[in-house]
Copies of this chain bind each other. A is one copy, B any other.
Amino acid sequence: MNILLTNDDGIFSEGIRALYESLSQIGSVTIVAPDSERSAVGHAITLSDPLRVKEVNRGGKFFGYATTGTPADCVKLAIRALLKKKPDLVVSGINLGPNVGYSVLYSGTVSGATEGAILGIPSFAISLATFTNPDYSFAAEFAKKLSRQMFDHKKLPKGTLLNVNIPAVEKKRIKGVRIVQQSGRAVEERFDKREDPRKRIYYWLTGEIIKSDAKEDADIETIRKNYISITPIHCNMTDYDFIDTLKTWGI
């Protein structure tokens, strides 16, 4: 099995290293990842600038390709230019921090896997639900198991990928796996308005609080309850249910 890895925390992050070590046990792994952090880049691609690629060694051994692009650029570039053979699987992560609810839209990690799905390759994104003191070992182990299953099944619908979120608790406290929808819950956020040393105003996004709704059967509550959350997401954003109503508007 040939596996392509990418992420948005950059090639030197611990999350991608944990994934590399785990997935190398079951396949031939190539990393093509950003040369530094590209968090919250959404599904950005680079059109106005060229992309540079550098080979990166770790422990005296070839580790992967670092690029000046976004996660989506990395996957495009890997498949269209760098790899000799189309990979069997694209895995993006392990992200530091969850990618649930509307943050799926902002996530560079998810967009790496989305690009894989657009290019017709079974793909998943995997994120660990903490921003501090991450222990990637269980997530890396789970990614290995899921990679094998995806390779065996090989049947995701066209343009669909899996978005996986792992609770950041000890392995024995994880209650199982749930296949759930993306939450549509509102996010509370605000901007800090500050003054720089030259007395100029600037704004900084902060205070992102996702309102709780324990009854909702979706990704956010799933990981809060210590289940692994898996959401199949697709690249066709059409709201089919609304098409007929919109036709009655007489635009």
**A interface residues (Cβ-Cβ under 8 A, vs B):** 37, 39-48, 50-53, 72-73, 76-77, 80-81, 102, 104-106, 111, 114, 118, 120, 145-146, 149, 153, 156-160, 162, 177, 179, 181-182, 184, 186-187, 189-191, 193-194, 200-205, 230-243, 246-247, 249, 251
Residue of B nearest to A38 (CB): B44
> Is B230 a contact of A246 with CB atoms below 8 Å?
yes
| Nearest B residue to A161, CB-CB | B239
Partner of A40, one of B46, B177, B186, B234: B46
B179, A246: Cβ atoms closer than 8 Å: yes
User: Which 8 residue pairs across A and B have the least CB separation, nearest first?
Assistant: A42-B42, A42-B43, A50-B202, A233-B237, A234-B239, A232-B239, A181-B238, A42-B44
Main secondary structure of the interface of A (DSSP, over half): mixed
- In the assembled complex, the Cα of A50 lies from the Cα of B194 at a distance in Å of 9
Report the bound CA distance from A46 to B42 in whole Å. 10
- 29 A-B pairs in the complex with CB atoms less than 8 angstroms apart: A39-B47, A40-B45, A40-B46, A40-B47, A41-B41, A42-B42, A42-B45, A44-B44, A45-B106, A45-B205, A47-B205, A50-B203, A51-B203, A51-B204, A77-B203, A81-B193, A105-B235, A118-B187, A149-B249, A157-B239, A159-B184, A179-B251, A181-B236, A181-B243, A184-B235, A231-B238, A232-B239, A232-B242, A234-B237
